[in-house]
Amino acid sequence: MNSYWKRVRFKYRVSVQDENTLGEVWHAHFSLLGVLSTILLLIILTFFIMAAIIWFTPMKRYLPGYEEDVRDDILATGLRVDSLYDQLQLQNRYLLSLKQVVEGSLETDSLQTIDSAAINIDKKNLLETQHSVTDSFISLYENEHSGTLSVFDKPVATTAIPTLFRPCNGTISRGFSEQRPYVEISVAQNMNICCVLRGTIILVQQLEPERYQVLVQHEQEMLSLYQFSGKMLHQLGDLLQTGESIAIATETGTLEFGLYQKGKVLNPTDFIQF
């Protein structure tokens, strides 16, 4: 043990000589214990300097766990700002559409046929407004074709509907009825809500925070209606392909889904295998 301490405390001499004169220019004495002590002192000094820099400068804000509540507040504020921005964009598009309607610059389309689904056409009142020549023609035509044709009593046949994609993978929780002209489908959180047929989004209405009503126009004067709680993946005017996701459900709930063609309400279960 004594030999070890002697070896550690033994001092060495380091000298620097001039090559030309061989005279000593500089010299120093050190021991192994002194070198180790100096290194340890430098490490401790460096640690305290770094700790002081972190403690007395804004660098401490980058440490994990520091002011976690402030970070959560900043993140929540950022999400609220994004939500307000999206709402403002929707409001601007709504006002632009309303302006086009008032100015008459918005071209009409088959969406007008939706109104006919809510109107009960009165045959008597309709005929009373016709000209006498029209009345005579209608009476003559109905008499000649009374066995095969009735203009007002037979429902209008719908155009053949192509194969439709399922709007989601859930099961029907409430079926179609005259009082509720749509079906309710159970959806799970993060489930995709898909477009049943290629078409264009013609209506996006926010009913509540994160609850939307979407209307998609398809070929053959068809319309599909989706009402759900979720996050929109598309916006007004976007063209969707069959099976493309419209939104993602943000919570477990229901999707209200309806089908229309030429102003007539259709039962979705007649065209989609749930």
In-domain check, residue 166: no
Average pLDDT score over residue span 256-269: 89
Same domain assignment for residues 176 and 266:
yes
pLDDT above 60 (res 112): no
**What count of Cα atoms within 13 Å lies in the side-chain half-sphere of residue 9?**
6
135-164, pLDDT tens digit by residue? 676 677 666 665 554 444 444 444 567 778
Same domain assignment for residues 199 and 246:
yes
Whose CA is closest to 191, among 244, 246, 249, 233? Answer: 249
In-domain check, residue 165: no
In-domain check, residue 161: no
Instruction: Identify the pLDDT of residue 226.
Output: 94
Residue 179 near residue 235, CB atoms below 8 Å: no
Same domain assignment for residues 87 and 118:
no
In-domain check, residue 125: yes
Report the 10 Å Cβ neighbour count for 232. 20
Instruction: Provide the domain count of the chain.
Output: 4
In-domain check, residue 45: yes
In-domain check, residue 261: yes
Instruction: Identify the pLDDT of residue 239.
Output: 92
Dihedral over Cα of 240, 244, 250, 251: its sign: positive
Instruction: Report the alpha-carbon distance of residue 224 to residue 12 in Å, rounded.
Output: 92
Q: Residue 83 belongs to what domain range?
A: 67-107
